[in-house]
Amino acid sequence: MTMSDAQNGAEPTVQPNGRVLMTFSFENDGQHVYDAMRNMLSFSAEFMMKSCDDASRSITCAAYDGGCDLTAVVSNEGNTSTVTLYAADPDDGLAHKHTERFRNDLTAQLQVNSPTWAGPTPQRFASASVPVQTAQGSSGNMNGTTGARSKPGIGTMIVAWFAGLDRKGRTTLAWIAAGVLFVLILIGVVSCGIASEHAPLPEGMSRMPESAATFEGQNYEDVVTQLKNAGFTNIETKAQEDLITGWMTKEGEVDKISVAGETDFSASEQFKSDVKIVVTYHAFPSGNSSGDNTSSDTSSGNEESSPSTGTDTTQTENPSETDTQSSESAESAGMTEQNNPEFAALLAGPDMGSSVSAFATKYANHVIEYDGYVASVAPHGNYKTRFDYLILAGDDDASAHGPNFQFADVNYSDLHLSANAPDTFSLGLKVHVKAKVKSYDSSTGLFQLESVAISMR
């Protein structure tokens, strides 16, 4: 079909429903133009393909912004292929605009897909107007103005370029886009974190350099230096004399740090610069400790280090203290199955319930004694050197009886182990327990004790 055919109202070989609105030609093979048209519609941001007929090389599509359907038919005329556009409703006000956009998109698609692209036939588009078939059947001007045809927009060019990629190319492009997006998100998150860590602090506030868990196991002197460099001014050290051999835990390693009494804090958390900070670290008994450690323990009020030289002198100077110690000595004998029927009934009864609760309330802060074994050992919270021990009455799981006696949030020094205790207080050890009654939790069934002395059996 030639340009003059369209101007004279001649019908093409394939005649869909509707009237011809535009014809235009390309110096490309008809099959190539048809394939390019299908690719364009498969990824078009303007049109949606509704049906196609490969035998007649015809495609029906609709614009996303409304209007009537358009049908495009590709035919060959020697070395030139012609595309004829029909409108289902030529009176539709959007029909002419859509045919112009269709032509521009197809032109862009062929520019991307065809290395031998020669453009539209010059004699077809060199004239001042593009001939169209109007609703009345007369020739009209698509643009309504003179001059060259309009160029495809950048969006159309991008869509056409993407449509020209094969599956591998599209997959590669998608991975690249995802990688770039991930990097941008990561940069944003890191930037926000850095900005918050270096944000100006209010007057009188300091930022914690590390978290409580990170400080554990470090040398206490290094930790004190870090805290001072961070701006904290009220720092105390406290020696915890719990080392026996020092093989597993080294002298001077931090056991815990409390800030205003709290032992759980995060890095970069803000506190007042003069908040009280106590750094507790592992140490050998006071006989092997330096004078500095002894001084620190005294200033921080460590009751566990109270046994020291000068005790006899104190007893001589203060006779009333002798009476107190005699009372404590009498109490330290403790209740046993043999000397207290109620305690015997407790060990022979259920592991939880009202009878256990009644005993704990009646005998709070009294000392009990029993033969038991280590039934469970678990870290206390996030701490590495503080544990929860379950020491049940009996020799093993088969012979266990009585309540679920627990020593919570303790380390070796809190257990007051005998001199022959192993370096690792582990499962299955048979022990003799002397402990003070603390409380009973009916919701967990745990009977809390505070160790007075634990010896090996």
**Which pLDDT belongs to residue 21?**
72
Q: Say which range, 173-177, 299-303, 339-343, 444-448, has the weakest mean pLDDT.
A: 299-303
User: Which residues in 357-415 belong to E strands, given as ranges?
Assistant: 367-379, 387-393, 404-410
Highest mean pLDDT pick, 63-77, 133-147, 298-312, 432-446:
432-446
CA distance 392 to 404: 6
pTM > 0.75: no
Checking if the pLDDT of 119 tops 50, the result is no
What is the end-to-end Cα distance of the chain in Å, rounded? 110
DSSP string, 120-141: B-HHHHSSSS-EEE-TTSSEEE
Number of separate helices (H) and strands (E) present in the chain: 14, 17
* The total number of residues written for the chain in this structure: 457
Q: Dihedral sign, CA of 116, 121, 127, 129?
A: negative
- Count other C-beta atoms under 10 Å from residue 262's C-beta: 11
**Which pLDDT belongs to residue 143?**
36
Span 357-392, pLDDT tens digits: 999 999 999 999 999 999 999 988 887 778 899 999
Give the CATH number of domain 3-163; options: 1.10.3470, 3.30.530, 3.30.70, 4.10.280.
3.30.530
Listed by start position, the domains of the chain span 3-163, 219-305, 341-456
**Which pLDDT belongs to residue 359?**
96
Give the Å distances, CA to CA, from 327 to 306, 313, 339, 361, 362: 18, 19, 18, 21, 19
The whole-number average pLDDT for the span 32-43 is 88
DSSP string, 97-126: HHHHHHHHHHHHHHHHH-TT---B-HHHHS
288 or 75: which carries more pLDDT confidence?
Answer: 75
The whole-number average pLDDT for the span 230-247 is 87
**Which pLDDT belongs to residue 166?**
62
Span 38-70, pLDDT tens digits: 988 888 888 889 999 999 999 999 888 888 888
Checking if the pLDDT of 451 tops 70, the result is yes
Q: Say which range, 11-15, 151-155, 257-261, 316-320, has the weakest mean pLDDT.
A: 11-15
Q: At 1, is the pLDDT very low, low, confident or very high (cuts 50, 70, 90)?
A: very low
Span 165-185, pLDDT tens digits: 666 777 888 889 899 999 988
Q: Cβ(40)–Cβ(160) under 8 Å?
A: yes
Q: At 315, is the pLDDT very low, low, confident or very high (cuts 50, 70, 90)?
A: very low
Mean pLDDT of the chain: 76
∠ CA 320-326-331 to the nearest 5 degrees?
135
Q: Cβ(412)–Cβ(242) under 8 Å?
A: yes
**341-456, CATH topology level:** OB fold (Dihydrolipoamide Acetyltransferase, E2P) (2.40.50)
The whole-number average pLDDT for the span 244-256 is 84
